[in-house]
Structure 1
C-alpha cells in the first residue's frame, strides 16, 4: 500500500455513488482534489439522487449541490474528508472537475446524502428541523428505560448513546438489531458483553469514546461484520485497542477508516479516575510537558481550595486561589499555545469538579466559595 496514494484507489475527477438512507435512493459526489500530506480528499456532493447508477451517464446533466438551507447562504457542499474511500462507495466513472477552487472545510466522514435531504426538505417550504426517522440519539438512562420495557426498535439504523456509566451491549443488540452506525460515549463508563456487537451483521460504523470494561476477546471481527467501513476508538482499554488495530489494519485498503487513539492501561485508569483533565493526555496539540504541569496545577488548586473551605471558607483567600489558577495557565499557554475553546471550557469544568469534590468532603453547600473561585480565575486569565 503506497503512502502517496489513497489506500483504496480514487483520483481527481472520479465520481462515486452510494446508497443514502436519508434519501431512500442513491446519490453521488465527485473527488475534486487529493492532499497527500494531509491524507484527505476534497469531495463535492452532487445535486442528484435516483436508482443505483452503473456509469456517470446514468446521472444525466449533474450539477454541484448548492446549499441554501438554514445559514449556508448558497455555498457549495464541498468538503475535505479522509482520503479513505469507504467500502460502500462505488467509483462509476470520471468527469472533468465541476469546481476548481479548493475547499476550506474539513470533516472525517463522507456524506451520504444527508445535506441533499436537508436541502430538499428546506426547498419544500418546511422550515422545521428535519429529523431522520432511522436515527436515534439518547442518553444511557433513556436507553435503560426502553430496555426495562422490552422495546425493540428494529427501524433504527443509526444510534448514538451518550453519558454511559454502564451499558450491556447484548441488550443493546437485542433492542436494535438493524443498526448500521453505532456511537457510544461515556466518562470512564463501562461496556459489558461488547463481543455481542459482532451480531450486528449490517454494521458499517462503530465509534466508542471514554468507555472501558472491554478486553481483546470483545474485538469486533471482520468476518462477522463485513460491511464495517469506519472504526473510531478513543479512550479505551489498551488490550482492546491493540486487538482492534490488528483485526482491522489490513482492511484499510478495502475502504475502512481506522482511527484508534488514547489506549489506556489499567494503571492509567486507576490514577486518573479523579482527574478531570485526563482527556488532555495524548491530545494532539497539547505538549506532554504542558499536560503534566496542568494536572499538577489542578491538584494544587484542588488541595488549596479544600483547605480553605474546611477551615472556615474565607472567600478572599479563595478568590486568590482562583487567580493563581488563571495565572498559572496563562504561563503554560504562553510557552506553546494550546488552550482553545474546548480546553477553556474544560478548565472551568475542572474547577466545578474540584468544587463538587470539596462540597462532598465538607458536607455542606459551597455555592459562594465556588463562585469566588471562578471569579478569581476569570479576573486573571488570558485564555
Structure 2
C-alpha cells in the first residue's frame, strides 16, 4: 500500500456510485481532489438517482448537486472526507472534474444521498425538516423503556443511543435486527455482551464513544459483518481497541475506514471516574504537561470549594477560589494556547460537575455558591 495514494484505488475525476437508503435508489458523486498529507478526498455530490449504473454514461447529462434548502443559498454539495473509498461505493468511470476550486468543508462519512433527499423534499414545497424514516435517536433511558415493551423495530437502519450508563447489546440486537449504522456513546458507561453486534450482518458503520466493559472476545469479525466499512472508536478498553485494530487494519485496502483512539487501561478508568477533564488526555493540541497541571488545578479547586461550602460558605472566599481557577488556566494557556471554544466550555462544565458533587455532599442547595464561583472565574479569565 503506497502512503501517498488512497488504500483503495481512486483518482481525481472518478465518479463513484452507491445505493442510497434515503432515496431508495442509487446515487453518484465525483472525486474532485486528493490530499495525501491530510489523507482527505474532496467529494462533489451529483444531482442524480436511479437504478444501479454500470458506467458514467448511464447517468446521462449529470450536474453537480446545488443546495437551496434551508440556508444553503445554492452552494454546491462539496465536502472533504477521509480518502478511504468505502467498500459499498463503486467506481463507474471518470469525467473531467466538474469543479476545480477546493472545498473548505469537512465531514465524516461519505454522502449517500441524504442531501439529495433533503433537497428534493424542499423542492416539493414541504418546508418541514426531512427526517429519515429508517433512523432513530434515543437517550439511554428512552431505549430502556423501548426494551421493556419488547418491541422489535425491524426496518430501522440507523440507530444512535446517547448517555449510556449500561447497555446490553444482546437486547439491542434483538430489538433492532436490521441495523446498517450504529452509534453508541456514554460517559464511562458500560457495554455488556458486545460480541452480540456480530449478529448484525448488514452493519456498515459502528461508532462507540466513552464506553467500557468490552474485551478481546467482543471483537467484530469480518465473517459475521462482511459489509462493515466504518469503524470509529474513542474512549474504549485498551484490549478491545488492540483487537479491533488488528482484525480490521488488513481490510482498510478493501474500503474500511478505521479510526481507533483513546484506548484506556482499567487503571485509567478507575482513576478518572470523577475527572471531568479526562477527555483532554491525549487530545492532539493539548500538551501532556498542560493536561496534568489542568487536572491538578481542577482537583485543588474542587477540594477548596467543598471545604468552603461545608465549613461556612463565605461567598467572598468562594469568589477568590474562582479567581484563582481562572488565573491558573490563564497561565497554562499562555504557554501553549490550547484553550479554544470547546475547551472553554469543558472548563465551565467541569465547574458545574464539582458544584454538583459538592451539593450532593452538603445535602443542600448551593446555587448561590455556584454563582459566586463562576463570578470569580469570569473576573479573572482571559480564555
For Structure 1 versus Structure 2, the TM-score category normalised by the shorter chain is over 0.9
Supply the distance in 1 between the matched residues of 2:119 and 2:381 (Cα, whole angstroms): 43
Structure 1: runs of 5+ lacking an equivalent: none
Spell out, residue by residue over 1:2-47, the C-alpha distance to the aligned partner (whole angstroms, 9 max, x if none).
Answer: 1010000000000000000111110000000000000000100000
The secondary structure found in structure 2 opposite 1:330 is helix
Match of 2:9 in 1: 9
Q: Which residue of 1 aligns with 2:118?
A: 118
Q: Which residue number in structure 1 is paired with residue 133 of structure 2?
A: 133
Report the alpha carbon displacement of residue 108 of structure 1 after superposing the two structures with TM: 2.1
CA distance in 2, matches of 1:119, 1:320: 54
- TM (norm. structure 2) is 0.99
CA deviation map 1:191-240 (0-9, x unaligned): 00000000000000000000000000000111100000000000000000
Q: 1:304, 1:136 → 2: CA distance? A: 44
Rounded to whole Å, the distance in 2 between the matches of 1:305 and 1:44 is: 53
Report the alpha carbon displacement of residue 327 of structure 1 after superposing the two structures with TM.
Answer: 1.2
Equivalent residue for 2:324? 324
**Deviation of 1:116 (Å):** 0.5
TM-score (norm 1): 0.99
The residue aligned with 2:197 is 197
Deviations 1:238-276, CA, capped at 9 Å, x for gaps = 000000001100000000000000000000001000000
CA deviation vs aligned residue, 1:143-177 (integer Å, no higher than 9, x gap): 11111000000010000000000000000000000
The 5 A counterparts of 1:68-79 are: 68-79=68-79
C-alpha distance in structure 2 between counterparts of 1:161 and 1:45, whole Å: 28
In structure 1, the residue matched to 2:37 is: 37
**Cα deviation 1:100-127 (Å, max 9, x = unaligned):** 1011111121010011111111111111
CA distance, structure 2, for counterparts of residue 65 and residue 363 of structure 1: 58
Taking the aligned partners of 2:26 and 2:221, their CA distance within structure 1 comes to 28
Whole-Å separation in 2 of the counterparts to 1:87 and 1:26: 15
Counterpart CA distance in 1 for 2:284 and 2:111 is 25
Residue 364 of structure 1, CA deviation: 1.3
- Mapping 1:76-95, distance limit 5 Å: 76-95=76-95
Correspondences of 1:340-355 after superposition (within 5 Å): 340-355=340-355
Give the structure 1 partner of residue 242 of structure 2.
242
Name whichever of 286-295 and 182-191 sits farther off: 286-295
Alpha-carbon distance in structure 2 between the residues aligned to 1:207 and 1:11: 28
C-alpha RMSD of the superposition: 0.6
Deviation of residue 375 (structure 1)? 1.1
Structure 1 match to 2:66: 66
Distance, in Å, in 1 between the alignment partners of 2:29 and 2:242 is: 34
Displacement of 1:94: 0.1
Structure 1: 4+ residue segments shifted above 3 A: none
- What does the per-residue CA deviation read over 1:45-93, in whole Å, with 9 as the maximum and x for residues that have no partner? 0000010000000000010001111111111111111000000000000
Residue in structure 2 matched with residue 165 of structure 1 by the alignment:
165
**2:363 match:** 363
Instruction: Classify the secondary structure of the residue corresponding to 2:258.
Output: strand
Provide, for residues 278-325 of structure 1, a one-character-per-residue CA deviation record: whole Å limited to 9, x for no partner.
011011111111111110110010011011111100000101111111
Aligned pairs for 1:263-278 (under 5 A) are: 263-278=263-278
| Unaligned runs of at least 5 residues, structure 2 | none
Query: What does residue 380 of structure 1 align with?
Result: 380
The aligned length equals 383
CA distance in 2, matches of 1:95, 1:353: 55
Q: What is the rounded CA distance, in whole Å, between the counterparts of 1:17 and 1:285 in structure 2?
A: 37
> Any idea what SS the aligned residue of 2:154 has?
coil
**C-alpha deviation, 1:186, in angstroms:** 0.2
Q: Distance in 1 between matches of 2:220 and 2:211?
A: 15
